[in-house]
Amino acid sequence: MNAIKTTIPDVFILEPRVFGDARGFFFESFNQRVFDELTGTNHSFVQDNHSRSAKGVLRGMHFQTQQAQGKLVRVVRGKVFDVAVDIRKDSPAYGQWFGLELSEESQRMLWVPPGLAHGFLVLSDTAEFLYKTTDYYAPQYEASLAWNDPTVNIDWPLADNGIVEPQLSAKDQQALTLQEVANMV
C-alpha cells in the first residue's frame, strides 16, 4: 500500500496494491499495522458503515462535536467526489478543503482523521460507499457544515457531471456555516 500526503495535515490518500488478471482482482483493503505505519497514527476502528446512494446525492459535510470520528473511506461500486474540510481550530489548514474522486476502478481510499468534516457527492448512477470509523456514531453530537459555505468554497464537480442541484437530506439542508461550526468545536 502507498500513502500520499494531501494539502491538509494528517489526511492521506491510500492506494492499495491490486493484483489482477483476466479472472478479476484481489487486494488487501485494510491492515492495521500497515495503516498505522503509513499514517503515523494509532487509531482503532470500532464501526464499519455502508451506504448506497443515487447520482446527485450529496451526503455531508458531517462531523461529531464530541466522540469525533476518524474515517477510512472507499467506494466499492460507482464513483464519488469525496471531500474533507479541516475544522480543527488549531490546525494550519483550518477552513481548507481537500477533495478527490474515489471509484471502484481506482480502489483508492481516503483517511480523514478525527476533527474534520466529511462528505461526498455521487457522480455515477449509483455508488456504494464503505467507511470504517474510530468512534461510534453518536447522533446527539452530530452536526453538518454547509456543503456550499462560501467561506470554505468547495469546488463540487456538479455541472461537469450533469448535476444541476445536489440532493440533500433534511439535516444537511439545515447545515451550519464555518463560523457557526467554529463556535461549536
Active site amino acids: 62, 131
Question: Any idea what DSSP says for residue 178?
Answer: H
Task: Note if the bond before 109 is cis, omega within 30 degrees.
Answer: no
- CA atoms of 30 and 32, how far apart (whole Å): 6
Beta bridge partners of 20: 25
Q: In this structure, which amino acid lies at residue 99?
A: G
- CA atoms of 75 and 52, how far apart (whole Å): 10
The gap between the terminal CA atoms of the chain, to the nearest Å, is 33
CA 41 to chain CA centroid, Å, is 18
- CA atoms of 55 and 24, how far apart (whole Å): 26
Residues 6 or more apart in contact with residue 4 via CB below 8 angstroms = 12, 13, 14, 15
